Amino acid sequence: MTPAMQYNRRIQIILILLGIIGTSLAHYFTPSSLILWHNIFQRLYYLPIVYAAVRFGWIGGLLAALLSGLCYIPHILIDWRQYPGYAFNQYAEIVLFFLVGAVTGFLADEQRKKQKELEKAANQLADANRELRDNFERMKRADRLAAIGNLSAGLAHEIRNPLASIEGSAGILGKGSLTEEQHREFLEIIKKECRRLNRLLGNLLDFARPPVPQRQSIILEPLLESVIRLVSHTASEKDIRIYRTVSPPDLTLNGDGEQLKQVILNLVLNAIQAMPEGGRIQLNARLEASDLIVEVVDEGTGVAPEDLDRIFTPFFTTRENGTGLGLAVANQIIMQHGGILEARINTGGGMIFTIAIPQTEKETPS
């Protein structure tokens, strides 16, 4: 027990003693003819008894009751012996002192016991929460290391092939025994692979450091129309029809128009590449509560169920010539907008990609 706690206990004991002694002196110095005042003083004993019971438990309550009774009995013997009936009632009151002290002390002890149990449970919960946080941080570090490992492996794989082509072409060019046409052919290979490497690094930088969205209110229908125009030639060559539904027609999107256009364009191009036999792509836009929803629905080859959880992982791709960064970058952009990009298998065949972005700001449409 700390010195401060010991000091507080002494103060509490002194207050109890002063209460009992003060009440007893009031009895002794008040004329017996003032029965009303004696009745009031008699009830004042309960204050130090209850206080002792609350502070020190049932033992403290009983000790305070005992001291009150010892101080009060001489007053009964001196002033009320000629009134046996009234004196008997005063002795019965002393019994109540003990009863009140014991019951109040017992309840106080139970309350303290419950409080200690709650404090113990709270401490255990805090320890468990701390341990959970530590484990979560360790898991996050492990996930980051695993992600870095996968990213490095994917990047090395994607860079190795272009470098091998460049090295092979440079070696052949170095021999100098080529026709002009062959010379141009191998130079074009080198240029093509350099462009491929540059595009790969650009996508990687977009994924690693996505630009902060420059938010403004954008009318959605023209944005979707712009995406459709950009892919119309490629879609028509593959006999793919693209439709859009925007409800309401003047639906606005709060976000970075260029970034979101890049995401939707990427999803539509992926859908086109997944539909070699042609078909239909549907773009849907609507409001659900405070979220703006954009869906890209295709009738393509789809994704295997076991691969759904991996399609947003950098360098994961199911296409022979894909880099595996398009969906990863798209997911980063949507996350930068505070939204979610999800994918699910279309029951009619193909995929459904859903963008959900919370709309909390209102600005003038641009």
Q: What is the CATH number of the domain that holds 347?
A: 3.30.565.10
Residue 110 resides in a domain: yes
Its domain, for residue 185, covers 1-209
Q: What is the pLDDT of residue 140?
A: 65
In this structure, is residue 363 part of a structural domain?
no
Amino acid at 262: Q
Residues 61, 118, single domain; the answer is yes
- Residue with tokens 């994917």, as numbered in its chain: 154
User: What pLDDT tens digit does each residue of the chain (366 aa) get?
Assistant: 678 888 888 888 889 889 888 888 887 888 877 878 878 888 888 888 888 888 888 888 899 989 988 888 887 777 777 777 767 777 888 888 889 888 988 988 888 889 888 888 888 888 888 888 888 777 766 665 565 666 666 666 667 777 888 888 888 888 777 788 888 888 888 888 888 788 777 766 666 666 778 888 889 999 999 999 999 988 999 999 999 999 888 888 888 888 899 899 989 998 998 898 899 999 999 988 888 999 999 998 888 888 887 788 776 666 655 556 778 888 888 988 899 999 998 887 889 999 999 876 444 344
What pLDDT score was predicted for residue 355?
A: 93
Q: Which residue has the tokens 């002390």?
A: 105
- 42 and 70 fall within a common domain: yes
Q: What are the backbone angles phi and psi of residue 28, rounded to the nearest 5°?
A: -70, -30
Give me the helices (H) in 34-83, please.
Answer: 35-44, 46-79
- Among residues 209, 233, 263, which one ends one of the domains? 209
Is the residue at 365 inside a domain? Answer: no
- Domain check: are 255 and 290 in the same one? yes
User: How many CB atoms neighbour CB 30 within 10 A?
Assistant: 16
Find all residues with CB under 8 Å of 155, minimum gap 6, and list them. Answer: 200, 204, 315
Confirm whether 364 is domain-assigned.
no
- State the Cα–Cα distance between residues 275 and 271, nearest whole angstrom: 6
- Do 89 and 173 have their domain in common? yes
Q: pTM, whole model, 2 decimals? A: 0.50
How many domains in the chain? Answer: 2
Kindly state whether residues 164 and 40 are assigned to the same domain: yes
Strands, E assignment, the chain: 216-219, 240-247, 252-255, 279-288, 291-297, 340-345, 351-358
Decide: helix, strand or coil at residue 135. Answer: helix
Q: Which two tokens stand for residue 157?
A: 């794989």
Question: Is there a domain that residue 244 lies in?
Answer: yes
Q: Tell me, yes or no, whether 12 lies in a domain.
A: yes
Q: Output the pLDDT for position 196.
A: 78
Residue 195 sits in the same domain as residue 267: no
* Residue 366: inside a domain: no
Does 319 share its domain with 235?
yes
- Residue that finishes a domain, picked among 168, 190, 209: 209
User: Do 224 and 268 share a structural domain?
Assistant: yes
Q: Of 186, 209, 232, which residue sits at a domain end?
A: 209
The answer as to whether 164 is a domain residue is yes
Q: Are residues 156 and 34 in the same domain?
A: yes
Same domain, 285 and 205: no
Do 145 and 283 fall within a single domain?
no
Q: In the 8-state DSSP scheme, what is residue 360?
A: -
Asked if residue 223 and residue 175 are part of one domain, the reply reads no
